[in-house]
């Protein structure tokens, strides 16, 4: 009996120490990819290019955008450290991605993720989660554009501070022209809206890109 109990105990211990049969989606992404560094304003991909990779921002900031008539630009999203981008429904990119500042980006080949997904349901859930986040991001941005200029700026600032709830001071990595192209405004409208928020003490600005949020704006 004692020998059987010891054998059973040993068997349980082996089961506890046995590694998981499948890596999580994030672990698979980390294992399959590699980091790449880019200087400021460096294009990562452009429309029409083969969508070979899924990307994650490690440091810096990335914008995705479309150009119209060779001059007008619409920025779809900004991606910060920890954000994934480049997930496409088709084989080619429909929009461009470019660094806002010197950035480090981790990338994984889509074919490698697809192969891993056939063996690991965690990768499937991981990709579905990224797709859901991107859809939510698009929906939130579409609703934001229904507001007036000042409210668009307020929502944009709240979006950034939400990433660091304890932080009140924001260092915008992008110029005001980028903010304008993201919010569907002119650069002058962005400047006027920030000036008005400063006048009513909703924000303070030590530099053109360093903004401190006040309690009234965070609530």
Domain boundary among 87, 109, 144: 144
Closest CA to 145 of 94, 46, 77: 77
Task: Write down the mean pLDDT value for the chain.
Answer: 87
Q: Is the pLDDT of residue 19 over 70?
A: no
Q: Is the pLDDT of residue 11 over 50?
A: no
Residues 55-102 have pLDDT tens digits of 999 999 999 999 987 678 999 999 999 999 999 988 999 999 999 999
Average pLDDT over residues 138-154: 94
The CA distance from 55 to 107, in Å, is 4
Q: Is the pLDDT of residue 189 over 60?
A: yes
Average pLDDT over residues 9-14: 44
- What CATH number should be reported for the domain holding residue 134? 2.60.120.10
The CA distance from 94 to 214, in Å, is 39
Q: Is the pLDDT of residue 4 over 70?
A: no
Closest CA to 109 of 50, 59, 62, 64: 50
In the block, residue with structure tokens 């579905």: 128
* Number of domains the chain is built from: 2
Q: Is the pLDDT of residue 146 over 60?
A: yes
| CB 209, CB 177: distance < 8 Å | no
The CA distance from 203 to 86, in Å, is 34
Closest CA to 61 of 171, 189, 151, 188: 171
pLDDT at residue number 162: 84
Residues 106 and 122 in one domain: yes
pLDDT at residue number 89: 86
**Domain that includes residue 176, residue range:** 149-218
Confidence at 196, pLDDT banded by 50, 70, 90: very high
Residues 121-140 have pLDDT tens digits of 889 999 999 999 999 999 99
Q: Is residue 9 part of a domain?
A: no
Q: Is the pLDDT of residue 216 over 70?
A: no
Q: Max CA-CA distance within the chain?
A: 84
| CB 54, CB 93: distance < 8 Å | no
Residues 128 and 155 in one domain: no
Provide, rounded to the nearest whole percent, the portion of the chain with pLDDT above 70. 86
Residues 31 and 139 in one domain: yes
- What CATH number should be reported for the domain holding residue 171? 1.10.10.10
Domain boundary among 144, 162, 177: 144
Residues 125 and 173 in one domain: no
pLDDT at residue number 10: 44
Q: Is residue 26 part of a domain?
A: yes
Q: Six-digit token pair at 81?
A: 């450290």
Residues 168 and 73 in one domain: no
The CA distance from 195 to 189, in Å, is 10
């Amino acid at each position: 009996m004692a020998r059987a109990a010891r054998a059973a105990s040993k068997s349980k211990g082996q089961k506890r120490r046995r590694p998981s049969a499948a890596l999580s989606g994030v672990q698979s992404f980390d294992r399959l990819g590699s980091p790449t560094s880019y200087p400021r304003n460096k294009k990562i991909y452009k429309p029409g290019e083969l969508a070979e990779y899924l990307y994650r921002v490690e440091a810096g900031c990335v914008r995705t955008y479309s150009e119209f008539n060779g001059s007008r630009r619409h920025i779809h999203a900004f991606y910060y450290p920890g954000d994934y981008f480049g997930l496409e429904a088709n084989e080619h990119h429909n929009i461009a991605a470019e660094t806002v500042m010197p950035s480090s980006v981790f990338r994984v080949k889509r074919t490698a993720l697809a192969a891993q997904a056939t063996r690991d349901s965690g990768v499937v859930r991981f990709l579905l989660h990224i797709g859901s986040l991107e859809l939510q991001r698009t929906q939130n941005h579409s609703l934001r554009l229904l507001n007036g200029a000042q409210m668009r700026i307020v929502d944009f600032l709240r979006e950034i501070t939400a990433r660091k709830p304890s932080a009140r001071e924001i260092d915008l990595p992008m110029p005001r022209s980028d903010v304008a192209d993201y919010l569907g405004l002119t650069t002058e409208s962005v400047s006027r809206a920030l000036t008005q928020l400063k006048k009513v003490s909703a924000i303070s600005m030590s530099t053109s890109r360093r903004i401190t949020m006040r309690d009234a704006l965070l609530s």
